[in-house]
Structure 1
């Protein structure tokens, strides 16, 4: 049996939000290494230019397009520029997220609530709709939504963030059911504690880390590349009969 093409993304175009660092960048690098043409997006073009150059120096095909996913017009421009550059979209990864608050849920302001929901839930919904015509034309379309273990069980201090990620899981399942007839697969990944700048408030907190180490089956913080590898499975032919799934990569925290 020839397995060389099972995890290949050769000839595919992948669009990844929140991809100038952390989990998003690791997904981008792994997808590019698998042969995909990759568009990375985040708010700051200078950061994207730097990281695109880093990947292109390895021989990968990568383009950076700035976008504030909380802005609907920016999302429309992102899709248009991606199509203008590569002519298609085969894989969409909704990774961009925000959490401007940490503390009791009743202390979360309405402004913070709106920002969390706009970025973490509304933006993936809108971007999936914008990409639909191009995903439908693909021979192996895949949407991957990066949720969180907080979307399965609310995390202390991350109340509304957890609510938004639970909503993203539900959104994933809704789209998976409705888009099956269009041969578009839609899945979610729920990372646990991953060592990124985004989660630094957690893994740099000794009290939280002591609690996590007692709860984890694999007693360490995860690496962004481990989420990238899970995303490659969901983007490739290896998962051709997988849709609507919620894949946890959390060191056994949710067992």
Structure 2
């Protein structure tokens, strides 16, 4: 994999999970990393590990849904990065699993404020640091952006909006030489996912893990590093002619109409 010329990368939602893996990938490729998250304590721990590994990294606590907090983020980063960012990765997101009819105003606003408005605010605030050839924005979407599951109305609205924001921003940014793309992960083994699965030795955890393995064509969920690898590629010169794209990182999950029925029965009918 070709890496981008070293520079500063901003990663939101960098305290854990996919965001933390992305920050680590950028750091290991020689970039300096501005790691941002609303959880200041977890963020400091993540940045301490990056520094211990020899990386240049700063922790910048931020609430991406708050314009004032995002403005302070950009002001903090600008002098550190010498007025130039190589990449912005909008990864911060929250989810509420609840039927549409039970969603409260506060839940709706929190999910959209973090995952969609947050990406808008961060990219807009950082635009003066990005607006030059070679810079890149990578948004972290989800399979929910195109194929929602029940109980994910707010999250699906965010990811669908984020994918179209990616396309629209790519058009506006192209004259400046800035590329804008997104990744759309499927099942990812993050700490939040592990908590949802429950103890791996428990019956529920084993059952759900087996269902995921049977549903994903490649037979396993992604690791955060799987997603981080593609984000780094989209931010680097090897993808220099790619913009406005949403790249699935889902093991083939979104390529199928639905989980094959009776797939284990090789003698069954092919009629559908």
Shared fold (TM-score greater than 0.5)? yes
2:147 to 153, 167, 174: 153
Match of 1:92 in 2: 88
Q: Does 1:77 align with 2:80?
A: no
Match of 1:221 in 2: 221
Gaps in structure 2 of 5+ consecutive residues: 199-203, 256-272
Q: Distance in 2 between matches of 1:77 and 1:214?
A: 46
In structure 2, the CA distance between the partners of 1:155 and 1:9, relative to structure 1 (3 Å rule), is farther
Instruction: Measure how far apart 1:128 and its partner are.
Output: 1.1
**Aligned 8 A contact 1:93 1:143 in 2:** yes
Instruction: Measure how far apart 1:214 and its partner are.
Output: 2.9
Equivalences for residues 97-136 of structure 1 within 5 A: 97-99=93-95, 101-136=96-131
Match of 1:172 in 2: 166
1:162 to 137, 146, 156: 156
Q: Does 1:192 align with 2:186?
A: yes
- Could you give the per-residue CA deviations for residues 116-151 of structure 1, whole angstroms, max 9, x where no partner exists? 1111101101111111111113x4110000000000
**Aligned 8 A contact 1:17 1:24 in 2:** yes
Instruction: Measure how far apart 1:217 and its partner are.
Output: 0.5
Match of 2:259 in 1: none
Gaps in structure 1 of 5+ consecutive residues: none
Count of aligned positions:
248
Secondary structure of 1:190's match? strand
Instruction: Measure how far apart 1:202 and its partner are.
Output: 4.6
- Could you give the per-residue CA deviations for residues 2-61 of structure 1, whole angstroms, max 9, x where no partner exists? x8xx31342x11000000111001001110111111000111332222211111111111
**Aligned 8 A contact 1:193 1:203 in 2:** no
Q: Distance in 2 between matches of 1:202 and 1:154?
A: 18
Calculate the aligned-residue CA RMSD, in Å. Answer: 1.6
Q: Distance in 2 between matches of 1:104 and 1:46?
A: 32
- What is the TM-score with the length of structure 2 in the denominator? 0.86
Q: Distance in 1 between matches of 2:31 and 2:212?
A: 36
